[in-house]
Structure 1
Amino acid sequence: MTRLALIHATRVAIEPIETAAQALWPDAETISILEEGLSVDRAASDTLSPDMARRIIDLSRYAEAAEADGILFTCSAFGDAIDRANSEACIPVMKPNEAMFDAAFNEGERVAMIYTFPPAAGGMEQEFLQAAKARGSAAMIKSYFCEGALEAKQSGDVATHDRLIAEVAAEIEDADVVLLAQFSMASALESVRERVSIPVLTSPDAAIQEIRRRIEANKKD
């Protein structure tokens, strides 16, 4: 059986990605590894410190030692460290938003991204523009912060979380597609779709489909 390691920096990301994995890859065994200190420390820092990067790499090595066939990180604020972990691993190691970005390029060049965890925005914007450059795309991204949504989700108030995100989405103009940046935002998908007339993308489903493709390709090599 294929073993997929899901590595989380916040517990609110666990349910959306485990649900997606169960629906889209039920034959895979998923193991969740949670290190909440990462999100606490990242929220308190303007940059991704060498210590935090080392912890990301150590988590990847731990998952590999646990005989995982692939690793999917679910927090969006550690992109550079995840890239390094991937370069050092013998199995696929994936950032959470790679597949969602790929899907966004098919929707148009004006991309709006709503986020609820401030440290994630800068790195995700950079990753998006790098991906666009690699594709030869002129796509641009504009980010919108949804204040209070993450705190609502963490306190168990999913309805308020979803409503706040939908309200931000309703104010977006001149965009071809809306991205919900964090895995924890997936519950707001339908609420956002009710308020906008353009496509809305989330990370979990696309991420599971892509990490499955990479794992299966790696096993054939």
Structure 2
Amino acid sequence: MPTLGLIHNSPMLAPVFNEIAARVMPDVRLLHFVDESTIKNTIAAGHLQKATMRQVIRLVGSSFDAGCDAAMITCSSIGRAVEMAAELHDQPVLRVDRPMAEKAVATGRRIGVLATLPTTLKPTAELIARIAREQGKEIEIVENVCAGAFDAVMAGDGATHDRIVGEALTQAMKDVDVIVLAQASMARVLATLPDGAVAAPVYSSPELGMVHARDVLRGLAR
């Protein structure tokens, strides 16, 4: 049975990915690796530090030592470290947010990026801009940080987080062609909004990332 290693910065993400896996890759075994230091130290420093990059690379190595066929990092804040880890391993090392960014660039010119942390917003916007350059497309990125939402969810107040993100989706992102959710934890908010509340298509990383990981694993099995 193929095995996918998922590297998280919060234990809250494991159930999200388990649910998606049960639907899109029931024949794949998941192993979760959780290290909260990767996001907490990045937030404290205000940027991705070299020590955190080394820790991400160690986590990727641990996933392969544990028997994983591919590793996927589920946090956008540490994207640069993912790409470094990919250079060091023959097995696939995946960014959960790249399929989402590619789909956003393919969908519209004016792209809204919504995040609950500046440290996640910047690397997500940079990834979208880089993909647009690679494809020779001109885009405009509209950035928005949902102030207070991250602190609320870390304090266990999911309802406040969802309300703040929901307001940003329906009000701050009115004039964009497509909306990208920079954090995996934001995806659940869509289900709480009434039909038609958000005019633009909204893409989040967990579902698209897992579908891509499934396709990568199938390619390895051939």
Structure 2 length-normalised TM = 0.93
Asked if 2 retains the 8 angstrom alpha-carbon contact of 1:79 and 1:95, the reply is yes
CA distance in 2, matches of 1:173, 1:129: 21
Q: What is the root-mean-square deviation of aligned Cα atoms in Å?
A: 1.5
Alpha carbons 2:73, 2:94 under 8 Å: kept = yes
Q: Deviations over 1:113-141 (max 9, x none)?
A: 11012211111111111111111221222
Question: Which residue type is aligned with residue 168 of structure 1?
Answer: A
The percent identity for this pair of structures is: 28
Q: Any stretches of 5+ residues in structure 1 without a counterpart?
A: none
Q: Distance in 2 between matches of 1:152 and 1:21?
A: 27
Take 1:30 and 1:189, find their aligned partners in 2: how far apart are those partners?
A: 25
The answer to whether the Cα contact below 8 Å between 1:192 and 1:200 also exists between their aligned partners in 2 is no
Task: Report the Cα distance in structure 2 between the residues aligned to 1:61 and 1:55, rounded to whole angstroms.
Answer: 10
State whether residues 105 and 128 of structure 2, in contact with CA within 8 Å, keep that contact through their aligned partners in structure 1: no
Tell me, yes or no, if the aligned pair for 1:17 and 1:183 is still in contact at 8 Å.
no
Match of 2:178 in 1: 177
- In the alignment, the residues of structure 1 paired with residue 11 and residue 150 of structure 2 have an alpha-carbon distance, to the nearest angstrom, of 12
Query: What CA distance in whole angstroms lies between the structure 1 residues aligned with 2:154 and 2:46?
Result: 22
Structure 1 residues 180 and 189: alpha-carbon distance in aligned structure 2, compared to 1, 3 A threshold = same
Aligned to 1:109: 109
The CA deviation string for residues 20-56 of structure 1, in whole angstroms up to 9 with x for no partner, is 1122111110011000111110101132221111111
Whether 2:45 is the aligned partner of 1:45: answer: yes
Distance 2:217 2:36 in 1: 26
In the alignment, the residues of structure 2 paired with residue 109 and residue 127 of structure 1 have an alpha-carbon distance, to the nearest angstrom, of 15
Q: When the two structures are aligned, how many residues end up with a matched partner?
A: 220
Which ranges in structure 2 are unaligned for 5 or more consecutive residues?
Answer: none
> How far off is 1:111 after superposition?
0.6
